[in-house]
Amino acid sequence: MRQKCQKCSANHVGAERMIIAFIGVGNMGGGMALNLVKAGHEVWAFDLSAQALARVTAGGATAASSAADAAAGADVIITMLPAGTHVRAAYEGELFAAAQPHAVLIDCSTIDVATAKAVGEAAATHGLAMVDAPVSGGTAAADGGTLTFMVGGPDAAFAMAQPILANMGKAVIHAGGAGMGQAAKICNNMILGATMIATAEAFVLAEKLGLEAQTFFDISSKASGQSWSMTSYCPVPGPVPTAPSNRDYQGGFAAALMLKDLKLAMAAAQGAGASVPMGAQAEALYQLLVNNGSGGQDFSGIIRLLRG
C-alpha cells in the first residue's frame, strides 16, 4: 500500500488536491468516491465489502485496512453508512480519534435527526468540524456527479465541506444547524414516496380506462399532474428511457431504502407531533412491497403492487 503524502497541520480544505477518507463505498458511496478521484483528490477507501472496494480501487482510489487507517492524515473524512447506529459507532469508535485537527467530517448517510445532532455535537466537543450531508438523486446521480446535498451543521463547517461536496453534486444547500440536513432529506423523500405512489396509481387507472401510457405521459408531463416521479422516473417503461422501469425495476433507489426513509420520517413526525397521513399510507404500501420480496427493486416498482 502506498504512503499518504506528508501533511502539515494547516487547514487544507479548499486546496486543489486533498486526501479524502471515504468510509462506505457501496452502491451510492462508490460512485461518489470515484467522482472525487476524477476531481483530482487522493481517496482512501474502506468498506466491509471486498467487491465494493475493488470497484473504487479499479477507478483510482486506494484501499485502507480500516476506517481509522483511511482517516489517518486525511483532510476530509466522508461516511456513507446504512443507519444511525453505524454512524455513531464509526465516529465514536474510530474516526474522532483518528481525525486530524484540521479535518472536516462529512456524514452523507441518511439517518435519524437525533443521532445526526448527537454525533455533530460530539464532533464539536472533540474540536472537529462536522456536517450531516444526506443526498438525493439515486445511484445514477451518484455515478454522474449530479447529486443534491442537504447539509446541516455550523456555517464554518459548511464552508469547509461545500467545495468537496460540489465535486460530487449539482447542488449543495445549507439547511441549517446539525441534523437539519437529515430533516430536509426525510421530508423530501416523504414527498417522493407519496408522489410515486400517486403517479403509479394514475398510470394503472389510465391503462384500465384504455388510455395508452405514452399518451397519458405526453399529457400529464405537461399538465398539472407533472412531478419528478413522472418526468424523471416514470414508473412505466417507455416514456423515460433512463428510468428503472425500463430495466425491470433493477438499479436506482431500492424500495427497502425508500421504506427506511419513510420510517425515519414517521418517527420524526411522531416526535414533533406532526400529522402526516399521506406519509403514513406511503410507508404502509412500501412495507407491503418489501414484505412481498421486492425490497431490492427500485421503488417505482410499487406500480406492480398497485396492479395486483
User: Which of the residues are catalytic?
Assistant: 185
∠ CA 53-178-147, nearest 5°, is 45
**110 close to 122: Cβ distance less than 8 angstroms:** no
CA dihedral (175, 181, 187, 191) positive or negative: positive
SS3 state at 79:
strand
Picking from 201, 252, 257, the residue whose alpha carbon sits closest to that of residue 225 is: 201
Q: How far apart are CA 14 and CA 191, in angstroms?
A: 34
> How far is Cα 302 from Cα 304, in angstroms, rounded to an integer?
5
First-to-last CA distance in the chain? 53
- CA dist list (Å): 30 to 54, 58, 78: 10, 11, 12
Helices H, strands E: what count in the chain?
A: 14, 9
**Closest by CA position to 22, among listed 1, 2, 60:** 60
Any idea what the Cα angle at residue 65 is, between residues 62 and 70, rounded to 5°? 60
Half-sphere exposure of 232 (CA within 13 A, CB side): 12
Structure-block grid coordinates of residue 101: 485537527
Q: Give all strands (DSSP E) within 50-168, no chain letters.
A: 62-63, 76-79, 104-107, 129-132, 135-136, 147-152
